[in-house]
Structure 1
Amino acid sequence: MADIRHTSPARPFPELHGHGLRLCRWNADSDADAATWLRGHSDPDFQRWNTPLKPVTDLADARDALRFRERSAEDGNCAQFRVTDAESGVTLGHIGVGEIDHVLSVARVGYWVLPEARGRRVAVRALALTARWALTDLGLNRLELGHALGHEVSCRVAERCGFRYEGTLRGAMFEAGRRDAFRDVHLHARIASDPEPAVLRPGPAVP
């Protein structure tokens, strides 16, 4: 069982601790955080499966992206976490809860893992930790997860964390590296009444 310590869900959102991870806020004024954000978005595997609305091609772009997320968090529209190893403090990746609708009690979650941290179930552990917080302390009823059709690794992460496959959304996200063409998306979701998954059971390797 993860040891999850938290404060009130009031802004700013809390740090999350569990499954050997510490999830904390990104800092746009930190050179290290900006460089890590840029490196994550420059990774070929990230670019294969994600096309951000605004490209991140240099440190200035990275800082702008982090500042935008800080403002959105202050407004209560998203919660963005830097995923770090609980013991060493080394950054492993990112997970965010965005598009938070407090009226309909729904949001969307997304994540990425740095190349050197893959194969250690970082995404599974971070998603399990974040989903539990979002569906309890944050008070959401539904948390959605979408990934590009064909991204089997992300599919396994979602399923292992209790996000059921609900269907395919046609033309719901940009093609890799393009903003004039679209591709299909697998939609997964988990609701507050779903049972807590046993995320650390043995199984196929995932990030």
Structure 2
Amino acid sequence: MTELLPAPVEVPAGPLLLRPWRAGDAPAVLAALTDPSTDVWSNPGRVATPGDAAVWVARRADWSSGQIAAWAVADAATGELLGSVNLHAIDRHQGDAEVGYWTVPAARGRGVAPRAVDAAVRWGFATLPVDRVELVHAVENPASGRVAEKAGFTFEGRLRRSYRYGDGVKRDELLWARLADDDVPDLSSRS
């Protein structure tokens, strides 16, 4: 039996707001996921049309499977969509989950991804029966390693040829994890 997640909720994160996805987000999602650097790392479902983006948003707005809690990452002051963050592969028996995220090109380098990942993970530890969250990324995507480190994850190892990315290449990935009792990062100085 699949245990249900709570209804989609907002999670304040300083200058950011993690909020439920809305149908009106689809055009911004299409623009973000078709950006070349986002496309290769964060678009395995191949969102390529407005219809694809609408389906993508609808799936992330629906938490009823109990397997994913997903948020739009927005600027708390303006509401501008800055990215996406989710907890997925939620396994209540093992007490773990994975985190995924992306940011729009204009939001990169501003501390958005580490703050959003940290907020989602803190919410997960407080709300779900999980005590471990994993973050994996392609070896060729070092920016994600910086996000993991800033968001309080510990590097654990290399997974050889573990995932086929948007360019069709099956790549080695780096595995990071954060435990519920790990020290939490101080992201207060980040914008």
Scaled by the length of structure 2, the TM-score of the pair is 0.91
Note the C-alpha offset of 1:50: 3.4
- Identify which of 35, 49, 56 aligns with 2:47: 56
1:1-207 matched pairs, under 5 angstroms = 10-28=5-23, 30=24, 33-52=25-44, 54-71=45-62, 73-178=63-168, 181-200=169-188
Runs of 5+ in structure 2 lacking a partner?
none
Asked if 1 retains the 8 angstrom alpha-carbon contact of 2:47 and 2:53, the reply is yes
Note the C-alpha offset of 1:63: 1.1
Q: Distance in 2 between matches of 1:18 and 1:93?
A: 13
Note the C-alpha offset of 1:111: 0.6
* Count of equivalent residues: 188
Asked if 2 retains the 8 angstrom alpha-carbon contact of 1:84 and 1:91, the reply is yes
SS of residue paired to 1:135: helix
Note the C-alpha offset of 1:27: 1.8
Residue deviations 1:113-141 (CA, integer Å, cap 9, x gap): 10111221100111111111111222311
SS of residue paired to 2:127: coil
Q: Distance in 2 between matches of 1:10 and 1:145?
A: 21
Note the C-alpha offset of 1:200: 4.1
Letter matched to residue 26 of structure 2? A
Letter matched to residue 130 of structure 2? L
Note the C-alpha offset of 1:151: 1.4
Sequence identity (%): 36
Q: Distance in 2 between matches of 1:175 and 1:138?
A: 29
Letter matched to residue 161 of structure 2? G
Asked if 1 retains the 8 angstrom alpha-carbon contact of 2:89 and 2:98, the reply is yes
How big is the alpha-carbon RMSD for the aligned residues of Structure 1 and Structure 2? Answer: 1.9
Note the C-alpha offset of 1:201: 5.2
Counterpart in the other structure of 1:6:
none
Do the aligned partners of residues 141 and 116 (structure 1) sit closer, same or farther apart at CA in structure 2, a change above 3 Å counting?
Answer: same
Residue deviations 1:69-107 (CA, integer Å, cap 9, x gap): 334x11211011000011111111111111111111111
Runs of 5+ in structure 1 lacking a partner?
1-8
Asked if 1 retains the 8 angstrom alpha-carbon contact of 2:8 and 2:61, the reply is no
Do the aligned partners of residues 78 and 10 (structure 1) sit closer, same or farther apart at CA in structure 2, a change above 3 Å counting?
Answer: closer
SS of residue paired to 1:13: coil
Scaled by the length of structure 1, the TM-score of the pair is 0.84
Deviating runs (4+, > 4 A) in structure 1? none
